[in-house]
Amino acid sequence: MLAQTIVNGLLLGGVYGIATIGFSVVWGVMGIINLAHGAYIMVGAYIAFALNQWFGLDPFLAMPFAMVALFVIGYALQAFLLNPVMHTSLLLTLVVTFGIDLFLIDLFVLFFSSDVRAVHTAYSGSSLEIGPVLISWVRLVAAILSVLVAIASYLFLNRTRTGQAILATALDREAARLMGIYPDRAYGLTAGLAAAVAGAAGCLASTIFPISPTLGISFLGAVFVVTVLGGIGSVAGVIIAGFAYALVQAFAATYLGANYQQIVAFSMFLLILIVRPQGLFGKPFYGES
Amino acid sequence: MFKQVVGALVALGMIGFGSAADRAAAAEKTLKIGAAVSLSGALSREGRLLVEGYELWQKKVNEAGGIKIGDDTYKIEIVSYDDESKAQTSAQLTEKLITSDDVSFIFGPYSSGIATATAVISERYKVLTLAPMATANSLYGRGYKYIFTQTPLADRGLYPVLELASEMDPKPQSVAVVGPDDLFPNIVGDSAAKKAEEMGFKLVYTAKYPKASTDLASVATQIKSAAPDVVLATGYVQDTLLLLKSMRELKVDPAIVGLAMSIGIQDFRDALGPSANGIMGTDMWVSTLTYSDPVFTDSATFAKEFEAEYGNAPTYHAASGASAGVILQMALEKAGSTDVDKVREALLSMEGETFYGRFKFEDDGTNSLGTAAVSQLIESDPKVIFPPAVAQEKALYPRSEM
C-alpha cells in the first residue's frame, strides 16, 4: 500500500503542476490573481471532450488544439479587459477575473448543460501492473506530458528572447519599456501562454476526471496552494510543489483517513506561509510590480 | 311593525335560501385539500413536479366522478400556494389554508426542511398532512400524530441493497461504506454501516472524503486493501463517477457495488461508459415498477398519463405526489367520513399498495413497508432487481469485471 500511495501521489502531482503553471506565472509577472484560471482548465477539458465526441480524436492529441484556442482566449481577454485595469487595484482585477470565470462557466452550462461528461478511450481504465502496484495508463501519460509541458514553459521563459522580455517586464516595467519592450504585448503573451498551458492541463484532466462546467472550481483550491508552495512565478517551484502537495494528500488520505487529506494539505500551506512566505522556490521580488 | 315583518321575511328568505344552497351542496360536494409547495425559488423544479403529481391525481379522481365517502360523492379541489422555497412562508400559507380556506387535509411541501416548519402548524390545528417528499428522520421522531409519509426515510437509503446482498448465493461477507462528508450522505452511510453489522456483515472499511476532493485514488487504494465483497457509495454524481473510475484503474472489483443514488440518470450512465455493467443504484420510484392501484393502474400507465398531461416524463417527485393522493383517497373511502381523526385511524389500520409501492403506516407516520427499488445496469440498461415482487430481472451477481 505504501508503494501504491507514492505512485498515486506522483501520478496526480504532475497534473496539479501543469494546472498551476499559468496561474503562478500570471501572478508573478503581472500581479494578477486570475480567478478565471480554473475556467480555462474547464474549457480545455471540454475541447478535448468535444473533439473526442465529434471526431473521435484522442484527448491527448487534442492538446495542441486546446492550447491554440486558449492562447487566443487568454491573449484577447488580457488585451481587452485586463490590461486597462491591471494597474488600478488588485480588487478590480479580482472582480474582472471572477466575472470572466462566471461568464465562462455559464456559457458552458448553456451549450453543454450541467450534465457530467467523461472522455472514454480504448485504454481508459487499463493499468500497468508492476508487482502489487497498479499504474493507470492515462494517469501515467498525463503525468509525463505535464512534466514535458512544464519543462517547455521553463525553457521558453528562461531561454528565449520573448521569455526574457516577459521576465524583464515583471521585474521592472519602466526599465523594460526603455529597453524597447512593449509591456502590454508582453502581458498579452504571458496571459495567452498561461491560458494555453491551462488548456493543456484541461485535456489531461479530461482523461482522469469527470467533466462538468464547474470542473475548474475544484482545481482552483489546489492551484492556489501549489502556487504559494512553489513560490509565486516559479515554474520549477510549481512542478515540485505539485508533486509535494499530491504526495502529502495521498499519504494523509491513506494513513490518517480520507477526511484528513485537505486538513493536512492546508496545514502545510499555512506552515509555509509562516515559515517561508516566498514559497519553496520563490524570489521575494516577484509579483510586486 | 312593517320593519319587523320585513325583517322576519328577510330572515325566512335567508333560511330558505340557505337550505337551498345546502341541498345543492348535498348533490355534489367538494373536498378541499391544501398544498403550499415551492413553485419559485431554489426548490421550484422539485416542487413543481410534486404539485403536478397531486394535480394529476385530482384530475383522475374528478374525471371518474369523485370519491365516494360514506353516502356522499366528493369532487376534489386542491388549493395550492407557492411557498417560494421558504420554510417560514410555507408555514404561514399552511396556517392560511387551515384558517381561511378551511382545509382539513394537506399535501405536504417539498423537502424535509420546509415540512418541519409546516408540521408544527398542521399539528396544532389537527390537520392531516401527507408529506411524500419529507423524509428526514428527525421529522418523525417528535411524536407528531398528523403527518404521514409513504416514502422510505432518508436513513434507509441503502437498506434494500443490503437486503438484496444477504439473499445472494454465495452470501457476501464484508462491506465497505464510502461517501462525501456531507449531511445526507452521512445519514445514509452511517445507518447503512450500522445495518450491515446488524445483518451479520463484516464492516471492513468506511471513509468520508471531503466534498470537494479532486482525487479519490487513495480511497480506492484503501478499498482495494480492505477487499470488501460489497462496496456501498453514498456520493453525488460527480464524486461517485470519480470513485468508480479510480476503482476501475486500480482493479478493485467487489461482487456488489451499490449506490445511494439512481443509476437511471442518463448523463451518469454515459459518463460511466461501457465499464458500468452490474453497478446497482437505488430509486424511490421508476416507471418500470409493477405495483398497482385502482386509480393509476400501474407505474407505466401513470408515466404515460403524466407525460400526456405535462409533456415530460415524470420523476419520483411527481409519482410520490400522485400516490399520496391515492393513499388519502383509500383512507377517506375506508373511513367513510371526512373527519380528520377517523381518516387518521383508517390510515393507521390499512395495509395496501399504490403504483408507487406498498404501505402500512406506523404511529409515528412512517411507512414500515416502504422500500426503495434497486436497479442494476444490465447491458447498460437499468433493470429493477429488488424487491423480488417487482423485479424485472435476476441480479447479475457477482458483477462482471469492471
Please tell me if residue A37 touches chain B, with a CB cutoff of 8 Å: no
End-to-end alpha-carbon separation of chain A, Å? 46
Instruction: Write out chain B residues lying below 8 Å of A113, CB-based.
Output: 267
Residue-wise pLDDT for A102-148, tens only, equals: 999 999 999 988 888 988 888 877 888 888 899 999 899 999 999 99
Distance CA A41, CA A226 (A): 16
- Residue B5: which pLDDT band, with cuts at 50, 70 and 90? low
Higher pLDDT residue, B214 or B55? B55
> Which of B221, B259, B268, B279 would you mutate first to test chain A, the one with the most A CBs within 10 A?
B221
User: A133-137, B210-214, B224-228: lowest mean pLDDT where?
Assistant: B210-214
Domains and CATH numbers, chain B: 25-154+288-360 (3.40.50.2300), 156-285+372-390 (3.40.50.2300)
* pLDDT for B20 beyond 60: no
Residue A282 in any domain: the answer is no
Distance CA A257, CA A280 (A): 27
Residue A289 in any domain: the answer is no
pLDDT at site B17: 47
Say if CB A19 and CB A153 are below 8 A apart: no
Residue A287 in any domain: the answer is no
Say if CB B112 and CB B135 are below 8 A apart: yes
CB-count burial class (<10 Å; 0-12, 13-18, 19+) for B59: middle
Q: A58 to chain B, minimum CA–CA distance in Å?
A: 16
Q: What 3-state DSSP class applies to B136?
A: coil
* pLDDT for B198 beyond 90: yes
CATH of the domain at A24: 1.10.3470
Q: Which of B163-185 are b and which e, b meaning 16 or more Cβ less than 10 Å from the residue's Cβ?
A: ebbeeeeeebebbbbbbbebebb
Strands (E), B128-279: 128-130, 147-148, 174-180, 202-209, 230-233, 256-259
Strands (E), B236-311: 256-259, 280-283, 292-293, 297-298
Please tell me if residue B219 touches chain A, with a CB cutoff of 8 Å: yes
Adjacency order of strands within the sheet including B373-378: B202-209, B174-180, B230-233, B256-259, B280-283, B373-378, B381-386
Q: What's the whole-number average pLDDT of chain B?
A: 90
Closest to B232 (Cα-Cα) out of B188, B270, B284: B188
Residue A288 in any domain: the answer is no
Distance CA A163, CA A170 (A): 11
Distance CA B40, CA A72 (A): 40
Say if CB B380 and CB B276 are below 8 A apart: yes
Alpha helices, H only, chain A: 2-30, 37-55, 63-77, 90-112, 137-159, 161-171, 173-178, 183-208, 215-230, 235-251, 261-275
CB A127 to CB B272 under 8 A? Answer: no
Highest mean pLDDT among A243-247, A275-279, B28-32, B52-56: B52-56
In chain A, the number of structural domains is 1
Q: What's the whole-number average pLDDT of chain A?
A: 90
Range of the domain at A13: 2-275
Please tell me if residue B401 touches chain A, with a CB cutoff of 8 Å: no
* pLDDT for B162 beyond 90: yes
Distance CA A276, CA B2 (A): 104
Taking residues A45-64, report their average pLDDT. Answer: 95
* pLDDT for B13 beyond 60: no
Backbone angles phi, psi at B145, to 5 degrees: -105, -15
Higher pLDDT residue, A190 or A266? A190
- Residue B25: which pLDDT band, with cuts at 50, 70 and 90? very low
Q: B286 to chain A, minimum CA–CA distance in Å?
A: 20
Please tell me if residue B214 touches chain A, with a CB cutoff of 8 Å: yes
Distance CA A183, CA A30 (A): 10
Torsion, CA A270, CA A275, CA A279, CA A284, rounded to 10: 130
C-alpha cell at B37: 409547495
Instruction: Write out chain B residues lying below 8 Å of A219, CB-based.
Output: 214
pLDDT at site B401: 55
* pLDDT for B12 beyond 50: no
Residue A99 in any domain: the answer is yes
Is the predicted ipTM greater than 0.95, yes or no?
A: no
* pLDDT for A175 beyond 70: yes
Distance CA A17, CA B82 (A): 49
Taking residues A49-74, report their average pLDDT. Answer: 95
Instruction: Write out chain B residues lying below 8 Å of A136, CB-based.
Output: 249-250
Residue A280 in any domain: the answer is no
